[in-house]
Amino acid sequence: MTVSVIQETLNPYEIAQQQVDAAAALLNLPEHISNVLKRPMRVLTVNFPIKMDDGSVRVFEGYRSQHNDAIGPTKGGIRFHPDVTLDEVKALSMWMSFKCGVVGLPYGGGKGGVICNPREHSKGELERISRGFMEAIAAFVGPHKDIPAPDVYTNAQTMGWMMDTYSKLAGVNSPGVITGKPLILGGSKGRNEATAQGCVYTILASLEDMGKTASEATVAIQGFGNAGRIAARLLDEAGCKVVAVSDSKGGIYDPNGLDLAKVGELKDNASILDYGKEFHISNEALLELDVTVLIPAALENVITSANAAAIKATIVAEAANGPTTPEADRVLTEKGIIVIPDVLANAGGVTVSYFEWVQNLMNYYWSEEEVLEKLEVIMINSYKEVRDLAKEYNVNLRKAAYMIAIKRISAAMEARGWV
């Protein structure tokens, strides 16, 4: 007898396609509709020359993927990272479509990236890379076509440079082409905290569903960048005990709770590992801690078939994009672990990006309180919609989230007469 073995894929594009197939099957969608959703409608590869500080010229490669614009213009971040790949960018654009669909935003998904290591470049070189990439993709983006935003190793300043470059090429000030900008250039109050804040709203709602209070919850966070660091602070303020955090160099763990003010100061001025050798823990071991809430807030594929069985958290809230493989997802579901999927858990970022875009188009700006109030309503309502559908179909939250998003996108495609 021959036993067939299914190899686990870590290719994010193949993972995204598997997730579409799973949700489409539950919805009984025709194959031609799922085939459209499994591929980006447009993918751009660019190569652009940049003059370096030493006078040499280096050619950088970048990508922009636009997945589906049936509901509205595409929307999604731009990352600067040495490991950016075309398949990664295509997958991330798909996840952005579903993220927007879950929370009901009038967007499709887009994503971009430049292959570079920001740590190796001066501020001047990063500015030239940012402007060079925008020049290369300018004909394909715009306030009503495709709206980029910050992502891994890009920030408000990066977006400011890109917006300025686009505006010069267009011959008119165009703040709506980019979100996540500095406030003075049309950024939205609350945008910097939005991804973490949205994730925290879903975590607190999930704890409430379980009959637990925040003060009863312990939290471990893998990734102490923007989202992870802010989520730690917000959960601490809500009453949770943050016991472990990590970054690319390693992690720290104290079952009695970390001094987050001290951790933040070390992150800014030295290394979180200077917290004390006795508190050191590896990124891998952090994922397996016996905590109430585990937040993967770094990159893709950190929870796989190799470690899923060792995960002990009650709730896994995916602040990162694609941190859990389909094989690992099945293991977590079988163990009864609640996974708040990335397309819901980290949708706060794109939601407030949408708010920023709306404010740019109106040239009328809201207070931070108004932004956060609107964000909370969308995140809590979306969480409940996903939770209720999961119960109705007896599926996990990820499949329910994809079902909601895919149903909305396919309805828009049908209304347009595409399928």
The 3 state secondary structure assigned to 207-258 is HHHCCCCHHHCEEEEECCCHHHHHHHHHHHHHCCEEEEEEECCEEEECCCCC
The span from the CA of 30 to the CA of 314, in Å, is 36
> Could you say which of 90, 99, 111, 399 is catalytic?
111
The per-residue pLDDT for 140 is 97
**pLDDT tens digits along 297-354:** 998 899 999 999 999 999 999 999 899 999 999 999 999 999 999 999 999 999 999 9
The per-residue pLDDT for 190 is 96
Helix or strand holding residue 295 (H, E) = strand 293-296
Nearest CA-CA partner of 285 in 329, 322, 250, 258:
250
Largest CA distance in the chain: 69
Outline where 138-182 has alpha helix (H). Answer: 156-170
The per-residue pLDDT for 329 is 96
pLDDT tens for the chain, residues 1 to 419: 333 344 577 899 999 999 999 999 999 999 999 999 999 999 999 999 999 999 999 999 999 999 999 999 999 999 999 999 999 999 999 999 999 999 999 999 999 999 999 999 999 999 999 999 999 999 999 999 999 999 989 999 999 999 999 999 999 999 999 999 999 999 999 999 999 999 999 999 999 999 999 999 999 999 998 899 999 999 999 999 999 999 989 999 999 999 999 999 999 999 999 999 999 999 999 999 999 999 999 988 999 999 999 999 999 999 998 999 999 999 999 999 999 999 999 999 999 999 999 999 999 999 999 999 999 999 999 999 999 999 999 999 999 999 999 999 999 999 999 98
Burial (Cβ within 10 Å: 0-12, 13-18, ≥19) of residue 367: exposed
The per-residue pLDDT for 7 is 57
The per-residue pLDDT for 9 is 75
The per-residue pLDDT for 5 is 40
The span from the CA of 416 to the CA of 419, in Å, is 8
111 is catalytic: yes
The per-residue pLDDT for 368 is 97
Token reading at 244: 């472990």
The per-residue pLDDT for 226 is 87
SS3 96: helix
